[in-house]
Structure 1
């Protein structure tokens, strides 16, 4: 079966870091499409200046892998609805879609993590954009993406080790590992 993995979460949630281990070592997926990494390749000293071109190249690569029927993964904040139709089309074309949502306990933690990343040479994102993407990503997870993917895992990546909060496996079963926290999140965003 063809597999599509979506690594999602707000800026600073640890998507890229988690992907470098989870995808090749646990899921056996070696094609990972990441606009931030593409931008670094285009402009190593100022990757944010290449973000639009990197986004275009990312979409081109996703569509190429899809048209070849290959297993692949990509990363997104889910802050927009843009991948909805693509996921539906992928499922119609025989892809099994798994979404990993890396959650942080607050937008402030996301901001602090991005600030740390910048100090270590990574790319910057304005605070208001981080906050908007944090809330929009959660809202879109529940309203748009959670209902259409085959399986998902909602992971608290605020500390170490991470904690699996809830998951849906085999298209139907929702397993709550931390019911109190899951209820609080769903009450706010669902």
Structure 2
């Protein structure tokens, strides 16, 4: 919860949580935490389209889970990645995964997220080669490009 995140920042304690990064509150708190000297470790899972998000929400609802309005899903698809870009210069470690591959855990299939970007200590460490870059899905290419732009601007990285 936001209350627990605020408390962890104030107390300088570790705190792990799940978020869509779709709003401004959590992003703002994470930026403030980084400015106060907290290390930010983010694992971000993205999908190739808002339609895939909507299909997964529909599957969750069919299984008795909660619904999310279509407009909110579509808005979050854009704002989530934009907020991740804002956080990139401040992360201690970032791992971005493509979670677009379909799997049905109920039938024994395991989801297989693919690593598409890794930043350690402010420096991109994946992709490292043209071959790895060539496999970057379209939705993640702007994130990878921004990571390498900041790396090229080191040590004076600034927010866009």
In 1, Cα distance between equivalents of 2:37 and 2:29: 12
**Deviations 1:59-118, CA, capped at 9 Å, x for gaps:** 212222333332111222112232344223323444211111101111111101111111
What is the Cα deviation at residue 180 of structure 1? Answer: 2.3
Q: Does 1:157 align with 2:99?
A: yes
**Paired residue secondary structure (1:67):** helix
Unaligned runs of 5+ in 2: 102-110, 147-160
Are the counterparts in 2 of residues 87 and 149 from structure 1 also a CA contact under 8 Å?
no
Are the counterparts in 2 of residues 155 and 165 from structure 1 also a CA contact under 8 Å?
yes
**Paired residue secondary structure (1:99):** strand
TM-score normalised by length of structure 2: 0.71
- In the alignment, what sits opposite 1:101? 44
**Paired residue secondary structure (1:78):** coil
- In the alignment, what sits opposite 1:125? 68
- In the alignment, what sits opposite 1:170? 121
- Computed over aligned residues only, the root mean square deviation of the Cα atoms, in angstroms, reads 2.3
1:1-190 alignment, distance < 5 Å: 58-142=1-85, 144-159=86-101, 160-176=111-127, 178-182=132-136, 184=138, 185-187=140-142
In 2, Cα distance between equivalents of 1:70 and 1:162: 29
Cα 1:102–1:67 change in 2 (3 A) is: same
Aligned residues: 132
In 1, Cα distance between equivalents of 2:2 and 2:142: 33
In 2, Cα distance between equivalents of 1:152 and 1:80: 19
Are the counterparts in 1 of residues 50 and 74 from structure 2 also a CA contact under 8 Å?
yes
In 2, Cα distance between equivalents of 1:153 and 1:104: 14
Cα 1:152–1:176 change in 2 (3 A) is: same
TM-score normalised by length of structure 1: 0.61
**Paired residue secondary structure (1:74):** coil
